[in-house]
Chain A
């Protein structure tokens, strides 16, 4: 029961930590600010999916976390390459 309470606190904390990401995505002055905020948001959602997979005792949420981390990495690299050189490929 003690560890379950700690995991619930972790889930609520992760949901609360989405708020600065949304604030930075809306208000951020430049494009790299928004890209950094989206990357941090994806990482926080990956951590939340890992904790939720442990709470629900199901393996499938961990697959979702792995795929989401891969997509976030590819998206960040693509946007940075587009900002740098003007082309994607």
Chain B
């Protein structure tokens, strides 16, 4: 076992541990956080950092064989499409009328969207804005 094999093992194990750590953080956030947007903020990290970390661990361990090329394809696809899906589902949730939790202080997108469209179902801008101005 020469030096390059040892370095490959250490790097791939590091990426595996990083991916598993971010999957654990995302699942903890999905279980514990109080709001749709907070949960989305936690679970997007699974797609970008967790899955990409595990796939990069596989690529470093195997080199650019058939499985390594497919692993880096899956990792890049998840890295590109997870933020797009997260943005679309959060925008749809806000327009669908899902409110924020009580600890939120400011909602800029709801303010601008309710100025444009008067039939907006979100009805919590005034109180939140007043509390934000008083602070």
Q: How many A-B residue pairs have CB under 8 A?
A: 137
* A36 to B46 CA separation, bound complex (whole angstroms): 12
In the complex formed, the residue of B with least CB distance to A23 is: B31
Which of chain A's residues have a CB closer than 8 A to the CB of B95?
83-84
Interface residues of A, Cβ cutoff 8 Å to B: 3, 6-7, 10, 13-14, 17, 20-21, 23-24, 30-33, 35-37, 39-40, 43-44, 46-47, 50-51, 53-54, 59, 62-63, 65-66, 69-70, 72-73, 76-77, 79-81, 83-84
The residues of B that contact A36 with a CB separation of less than 8 Å are: 30, 36, 39-40, 43, 89
A39 touching B43, Cβ below 8 Å: yes
Contact between B46 and A69 (Cβ–Cβ < 8 Å)?
no
Q: Tell whether, in the assembled complex, residue B23 and residue A13 are in contact, meaning their CB atoms are under 8 Å apart.
A: yes
Q: A13-B20, A53-B58 are in contact. List 18 more A-B contacts (CB 8 A).
A: A10-B54, A13-B23, A17-B27, A30-B98, A32-B92, A37-B30, A44-B46, A46-B51, A46-B74, A47-B46, A50-B71, A59-B67, A66-B77, A69-B77, A73-B81, A77-B84, A79-B92, A84-B91
Chain A's closest residue to B51 (CB) is A47
Q: A47 and B91: CB pair below 8 A?
A: no
By the criterion CB–CB under 8 Å, are B92 and A84 in contact?
yes
- Distance between A28 CB and nearest chain B CB, rounded to angstroms: 9
Closest chain B residue to A54, Cβ basis: B58
**In the complex the two chains form, what is the Cα distance from A68 to B88 in whole Å?**
19
Shortest Cβ distance from B95 into A: residue: A84
Contact A21 B30 (CB under 8 A): yes
Q: Is the CB of A50 within 8 A of B61?
A: no
